[in-house]
């Protein structure tokens, strides 16, 4: 097992997980962007932010996925009929954001397990809010990457303490 103080570059793991999920499920391609190009809020609406916690025997962490409502609407439409009811649509957006984070976190968990770090994943939590903050000094390993997809932007953040 790799010792916890070894270096682990999470950026390529994050990129592979995100690309895998978006290509396999939605046949959409992601393009990396500078985090400076991602606004505090996407237009008038807040970001949808979903979180999956990682629990391991030697470390714990979290995976956060920040997406816009418009991108969730676009991806939802590609899955088939969407509800016309506004509250139901809001629920569909949040559910999709949570499931995306669940799939991405699953892929990240698999990559971390291959590197010798085993984590159990929580079910996703979704909330609406301002842009994700940068990592803290408490992070042993961290990654924060920005992406565009079909005109929308998203941010993936991984923190492991």
Partner 1 sequence: MTSCPPKILTVDDSKTVRRILAGLFVPLGCVICEAANGEQGLAVAALEKPDLIILDYNMPVMDGLTMLQRLREDAAMRHTPVILLTAEAGAKNIAAAARLGARDYIVKPFQDEVLLAKVARIITLGPRSTIQAANEQPEASEGPLPTP
Residues in contact with partner 1 by CB under 8 A are 20-21, 24-25, 76, 79-80, 91-92, 95-96, 98-99, 102-103, 105-107, 109-110, 113, 118, 121-123
Backbone angle region of 24, left / alpha / beta, with phi > 0 → left and psi within -120 to 50 → alpha: alpha
Q: Toward partner 1, which CB reaches closer, 38 or 117?
A: 117
Report how far residue 67's alpha carbon sits from residue 46's, in angstroms, rounded to the nearest whole number. 9
Minimum CB separation from partner 1 for residue 106, in Å? Answer: 3
Contacts (Cβ under 8 Å, ≥6 apart) of 44: none
Q: Which is nearer to partner 1, 122 or 161 (CB)?
A: 122
Nearer to partner 1, 99 or 135 (CB): 99
DSSP string covering 91-150: HHHHHHHHHHHHHHHHHHHHHHHHTT---EEPPPEEEEESPPPPP-TT-SEEEEEEEEET
Q: State the minimum distance, in angstroms, from the CB of residue 3 to partner 1.
A: 20
Least gap, CB of 102 to partner 1 (angstroms): 5
The CB-of-83 to partner 1 minimum distance in angstroms stands at 10
Looking at the Cβ atoms of 47 and 119, the one nearer to partner 1 is 119
Minimum CB–partner distance for residue 22 and partner 1 (Å): 9
Asked if 132 and 66 touch (Cβ cutoff 8 Å), the reply is yes
Q: Which is closer to partner 1, CB of 38 or CB of 154?
A: 154
Contacts for 133-137 with beta carbons within 8 Å, 24 or more apart?
Answer: 135/159
Among positive and negative, which fits the CA dihedral 93, 111, 134, 55? Answer: positive
């Amino acid at each position: 097992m790799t010792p916890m103080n070894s270096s682990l570059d999470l950026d390529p793991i994050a990129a592979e997980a995100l690309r895998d999920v978006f290509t396999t499920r939605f046949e959409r391609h992601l393009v990396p962007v500078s985090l400076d190009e991602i606004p505090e809020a996407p237009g008038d609406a807040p970001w949808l932010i979903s979180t999956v916690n990682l629990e391991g025997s030697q470390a714990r962490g979290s995976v956060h996925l920040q997406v816009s409502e418009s991108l969730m609407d676009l991806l939802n439409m590609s899955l088939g009929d969407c509800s016309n009811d506004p509250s139901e649509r809001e629920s569909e957006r949040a559910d999709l954001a949570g499931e995306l984070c669940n799939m991405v976190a699953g892929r990240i968990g698999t990559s971390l397990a291959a590197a010798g770090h085993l984590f159990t994943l929580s079910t996703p939590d979704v909330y609406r809010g301002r842009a994700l903050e940068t990592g803290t000094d408490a992070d042993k390993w961290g990654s924060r990457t920005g992406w565009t997809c079909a005109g929308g932007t998203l941010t993936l953040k991984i923190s492991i303490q």
